[in-house]
Amino acid sequence: MLRRPYLEQDRSAPKRQRQIRRRLPPRASQACHACASSKTRCDNNQTCARCRKRSIPCLRDAHLSDEEDETRDPATVQRAAFGGEIDASLPGTFQDSFDGAFSNQNSTASSNGALDSHAPRSPTQNIADGLPEPPLMPATWGLDASFDLLNQDGPEGGLVWGDWCLNDHGIDFFSPMELPLLTGTAQAPRHIPTALASSEPSVDGDARIYSVQQGISQSIGQWTPKSGHYRAHAEKDMVSKDLLSLKIDFSGHWDSSISSEPLVPRTRDKIIALAVGSCERSNIGAVVSAFPTIDVLECLINIALTQQKGDLDGYIHVPTFFKSESRVETIAAMVITGTSRSSHKAVQKFGYGLGEILSYYLYNRAEREYSLTRDLQYLQALCLSVSNGLWSGFNNKMELAKSVSGVLISMLRVGGRFRRNAYSSIAPISTDVGDILEKKWRAWVEQESFKRLVYHMHIHCVQESFMASTAGSQLSPSELTLPLPESRELWLAPSAILWKQAFVRLQVSAPQGKVPSIIECIANPSTTRLFPQTCDRGFASQAQVYAIASLVRAFKHTQALFATNDPALNRSALIADECQERRLEQVIQALGVGYNMGGSEEIAAWNLLRELTGMHLYISFNQLELFAGQEGPEEAQAVYPTLHTWFQSESSRHAVWHAGQVLRHMRAIPVGALHIFHALACYHASLCLCIYGIISKRSTSQATSPAPTSPETSVLLVVGEETLSTRRWIQLGFGTPVISMSPTSSDMPAQSEEATALSSSYITMNVAIEIIRKKFRELLDIEPRLVGNICCLMQSIGNMEQTGLFGSRDAS
């Protein structure tokens, strides 16, 4: 016989009148946190059998009643989760906000230093807002509960550094990564302190009721959509409800005169028609009222054009770009790109809402007209949409961007754009004048735009693969037989006559040779020094090192696939791996010797990627993430013996040295060359340094006697220049690696008071966080959402040490 729960009202009701209530199967939200995170069945006892068997706390959330839970609107829940920042009933239009804002266009944004702490939300307050009460946690990882990254307002009600006020439907990019030995849930930190603390914070588990497991419980890109995640919801958020006069400052350098062609009202009407035709019927009024004036749209387009002109891998030819002649989807995509450089939440929300509409429009447009899959401007709009989504920091947009990038790659591949025979040699001659020269220039521009688009997507796919340790690039370098892009001087020539003059000048300075492909550069790295003058050396070198990075990651994936415990098979596999590793190592070293041209911006960013590639060659990054808790405490404990063996090898010291050099070059990157991907690279490097330091600390505590070290090589700086001491440490292990605590300088003695050992993961992570934040403060008035989530993840990993579990013997 089934047993039913005893109800309080059964005492007074007659036995015959008692209503038999059938018990429903337990929902996922009714399970304790330990069972829910492990996706195992949980019983309804006060302490479930699994938690009692494992001797871990059995914690559960407080739930709403069934009636209240069914009547609550998902969008309301989402708004309540982020402080109720969006109020769809307030009057006003986005256009009015923009008009008032551009009267103060030259005003400065809020001070970057306004990082005051805010009071934490209590559990009862969360319940009142319709959210489940976060449970108590046995380990807090040193995060203060007053930190709330997702709360919408700063101390003065404005946007401050690290503060994002967008309706993001509860989506975090880096938040889904699990840390080991946790059983509770936590709220993401609001403001991470910008200055390094002089001493490590103490852990107070009773005062901090949140854990980081909820925020980083899954690997990168893995998330669970909820009922409030839908396109129409983003469309409603396009309208600004801020009754105050908005102050919009576009961050970074942009040229207001980059295009002499004004935006005509007809083009704005086309964009509105695109949005109205693709949005939900119930949101048409909100979408139409959200559109800013012509002047604002023109400003946003000019910002995107300035970015395309300055980017080394830009693929839109600015001199021949005319707003009145371009496709409407390309104009809309450039407007969205421009909003990403704004410092106000209303502009950002408009861009994200329009991006949702554009993604839907691009798909439907291609379905109705297949010939667009070979159209240059359509492919450029699709590429802009993919880039905006991938670096937005919103999981739903990132997931769609990764999917659409595969579609774009397929369009280019099937269109034959990866093959050399799809491109002809176009060069002006002395008799070319007038219309003949103009037509030849236009044909060269279209062909060059396709080449740059292909190589941009090659770089994009490699960067995308770095976001997940087990993912490979969607585009193999072996497919790219097309010639490398031609000279940047030719690309930026504003007219056909100047293009011809630049071409003649480059041919005179050096004879014209065959432009190699990326495959030829990989096979012979010295080809970099032999590039013809008409080749874009900066772009070619960047594409070359990204191709090497793709090969290194593919090699590590293959190495993990064939890993075995069979001695006979393992011996042959080791020989093959050593040969391949030696070959890739030689290629990376040859790149460092061969590439010595270009400006400081190109060299610093190029060196950072080269060092990141070298680091991945000597470590399985997937194992680092597993040890950090990506798949739970069991996997973290299982991978420790492998990492301990790696720690004792020379490969670990090679990896640590390259990781330190990544941080060093990050400090040297000029603002003009800064990209969000560089923050991701710093996360990879800091995790390598952190794990090495933790294993080193544990190994030292277990050692019976200290290893002998030479006084002359006892301390060395991994973020400094290479010396004889560093080479001796890498090859022989003599010395103690340290890291500079200064976020601005790496050139200091290793014995300086500002240098600390890698054994403190808290200090190591905070040094890397400060390097990232300092760089992006120089570029933007506000912190990009993705950068903020990366820093939050790094902060959480650094705080592992505070619990005494991550670096303890019990954790292994």
Q: How many CB atoms lie within 10 A of CB 143?
A: 24
DSSP state of 442: H
154-173: average pLDDT: 37
Going by C-alpha positions, the residue among 778, 777, 795 that lies closest to residue 162 is: 777
| Res 423: pLDDT | 95
Distance CA 515, CA 512 (A): 9
| Res 171: pLDDT | 35
Going by C-alpha positions, the residue among 350, 352, 356, 298 that lies closest to residue 322 is: 298
Among left, alpha and beta (phi > 0; psi -120 to 50; other), residue 640 is alpha
| Res 99: pLDDT | 41
DSSP state of 24: P
Q: State the residue for tokens 């019927």.
A: 281
482, 473 Cβ separation under 8 angstroms? no
**Token digits for 694?**
């933790």
676, 391 Cβ separation under 8 angstroms? yes
Distance CA 797, CA 518 (A): 38
List pLDDT tens digits, range 728-760. Answer: 899 988 888 999 877 555 555 555 557 888 888
Distance CA 350, CA 275 (A): 12
Q: State the residue for tokens 């054009």.
A: 305
Going by C-alpha positions, the residue among 627, 628, 614 that lies closest to residue 552 is: 614
**Does the pLDDT value for residue 637 go beyond 90?**
no
Q: Is the dihedral of CA 196, 344, 173, 377 positive or negative?
A: negative
435 located within any domain: no
Last residue of one domain, picked from the residues 393, 415, 437? 415
123, 209 Cβ separation under 8 angstroms? yes
678 located within any domain: yes
Strands laid side by side in the 715-717 sheet = 715-717, 736-740, 755-757
Residue 687: pLDDT band with limits 50, 70, 90: very high
278 located within any domain: yes
Enter the pTM of the model.
0.73
263 located within any domain: yes
Distance CA 418, CA 409 (A): 10
| Res 347: pLDDT | 82
Distance CA 624, CA 690 (A): 10
157-164: average pLDDT: 38
Report CA-CA distances (Å) from 333 to 384, 387, 450, 586, 804. Answer: 6, 10, 18, 41, 49
Query: In this structure, what are the phi and psi dihedrals at residue 755, rounded to the nearest 5 degrees?
Result: -105, 135
Widest CA span in the chain = 107
List pLDDT tens digits, range 114-151. Answer: 334 334 343 334 333 333 333 333 333 333 333 333 33
Q: How many CB atoms lie within 10 A of CB 508?
A: 9
Going by C-alpha positions, the residue among 547, 786, 756, 550 that lies closest to residue 660 is: 756
**Does the pLDDT value for residue 647 go beyond 90?**
yes
388 located within any domain: yes
Distance CA 47, CA 29 (A): 16
Distance CA 206, CA 171 (A): 28
Distance CA 797, CA 629 (A): 9
539-560: average pLDDT: 91
- Residues 623-633 as b/e (b if ≥16 CB within 10 A, e otherwise) read bbbbbbbbbbb
116 located within any domain: no
Neighbouring-strand partners of residue 739: 756
Using DSSP's 3-state secondary structure scheme, residue 612 falls into: helix
Total of domains in the chain: 2
Counting residues of the chain whose pLDDT is more than 90, the rounded percentage is 32
| Res 399: pLDDT | 87
Q: Which amino acid is at 403?
A: S
Q: Which amino acid is at 535?
A: C
Q: How many CB atoms lie within 10 A of CB 517?
A: 20
Last residue of one domain, picked from the residues 365, 396, 415? 415
- Segment holding 456, helix H or strand E: helix 434-465
539 located within any domain: no
Counting residues of the chain whose pLDDT is more than 70, the rounded percentage is 65
Distance CA 547, CA 553 (A): 10
**Token digits for 409?**
């790659």
Last residue of one domain, picked from the residues 415, 446, 481? 415
591 located within any domain: yes
Range scoring the smallest mean pLDDT among 238-252, 288-302, 661-675: 238-252
| Res 299: pLDDT | 87
Could you list the residue range(s) of the whole structural domain that residue 306 is in?
235-415
Distance CA 777, CA 488 (A): 29
Q: State the residue for tokens 């070979």.
A: 374
**Does the pLDDT value for residue 488 go beyond 70?**
yes
Of residues 198 and 404, more confidence is placed in 404
301-316: average pLDDT: 92
